[in-house]
Amino acid sequence: MFLLKTWRSTAFGIYGYMNFTKNGFLEHSKKFKPEDMQIQIEGKNCVVTGANSGIGYAAAEGLASRGANVYMVCRNKERGQEALTKIQSSTGNQNVYLEVCDLSSVNEIKSFATSFASKDVPVHVLVNNAGLLENKRTITPEGFGPRLSVIFLESTHLDFISLCSFVYIRFELNFAVNVLGTYTMTKLMLPLLEKASPDAKVITVSSGGMYTSPLTTDLQFSGENFDGVLQYARNKRIQVALTEKWAEKFKNKGIGFYSMHPGWAETPGVAKSLPSFNESFSGKLRTSEEGADTIVWLALQPKEKLVSGSFYFDRAEATKHLTLAGTSKSHDLIDSVIDTVHSMAALDP
């Protein structure tokens, strides 16, 4: 196991240095077709999570500049409003709106989804961009878990303390945002995505870090020595496997599902979460716009040019597994992961 982990990290480092940096983007961009980005999408509704800074901001701006109605889902109202104003000013598109929602909270996502559904607008593009890499174990204050009333009615012989210990659920923060939040948002947006069929797309921003980890059912990192970077990699692997599963499950709903990797970009999130990496690669990292390029590209392309369930990098399908990394078979666990996450989110069957 040690040798396999070492190989994964080594292979990832070499592959990443050759492809994920600014130089990698510049090299890959030689094959880009300029006309792909000249498509206008006036009147299409695009929801972008984590849109107030970094790659999310660049994606929202890129979509707004092409005429889309953009709904920026941000945790902080003030920063979100500031970002919205900047995008309206830079693009001249006034159809940019702020939606305040903390993606670490299932309850807030449910409230947002209910409120947004009342607008009765089709969602043509959902960009699951909001992400987090928290190095220290942090637990969300999320409340009671699913089926509390059923458990209470059927288990009245249990004392109150035992009952609470059984049903009270709090979530590890990285998982709450990257997996539980992404899953809940996507599931609750499905009715509005179906309204945009056959043009609807879900684009989930994953990370090359997922190359270092197989899929695991240890969703909240049960080990004592918490490793935020590893947890982030695990979360991002789940996103890729989820995209595969969604593409298969909803192939007849007129919705395309795509995951993508932005490369190594210089963003506020990277500077905060990976300061040593950010400093070591100073001058070699991509801009936020370069990181968001494939998000915008995916949103603009006709669906017949894309492959639902695929993982994209620099406007092309990319491998989901590095050679000899032993990660591909782990995707067989995705049904178990989905069952657990769905229960945590307390969603209807």
> What token pair was written down for 219?
């969703």
Separation CA 123–CA 189 (nearest Å): 8
pTM across the whole model? 0.92
Among 201, 211, 205, CA closest to 319: 211
Residues known to be catalytic? 232
Mean pLDDT estimate for the chain = 92
> Where exactly does CATH 3.40.50.720 map onto the chain?
2-137+173-345
- In three-state secondary structure terms, 248 is helix
Would you place residue 97 in the very low, low, confident or very high pLDDT band (cuts 50, 70, 90)? very high
Separation CA 172–CA 139 (nearest Å): 5
Separation CA 129–CA 54 (nearest Å): 10
**Mind giving me the DSSP string for 29-92?**
GGG--GGGG----TT-EEEEES-SSHHHHHHHHHHHTTT-EEEEEES-HHHHHHHHHHHHHHH-
From residue 209, give the alpha-carbon distance in Å to each of 22, 214, 250, 261, 273.
17, 11, 27, 9, 14
Q: CATH number of the domain at 2-137+173-345, please?
A: 3.40.50.720
Separation CA 239–CA 232 (nearest Å): 11
For residue range 316-336, list pLDDT tens digits in order.
Answer: 999 999 999 999 999 999 999
Q: What number is the average pLDDT over the span 274-288?
A: 95
From residue 109, give the alpha-carbon distance in Å to each of 75, 170, 185, 186.
11, 16, 6, 10
Separation CA 294–CA 313 (nearest Å): 7
Other CB atoms within 10 Å distance of the CB of residue 335: 11
Residue 273 confidence (pLDDT): 94
Q: What number is the average pLDDT over the span 234-252?
A: 97
Q: Where are the alpha helices (DSSP H) in 92-138?
A: 106-117
Percent of the chain with pLDDT over 70: 92
CB 50 within 8 A of CB 104: no
Residue 46 confidence (pLDDT): 98
Residue 58 has pLDDT above 70, yes or no: yes
Q: Taking CA 18 as the corner, what is the angle to CA 310 and CA 50, rounded to the nearest 5 degrees?
A: 50
Residue 1 confidence (pLDDT): 81
Among 53, 104, 112, 110, CA closest to 80: 53
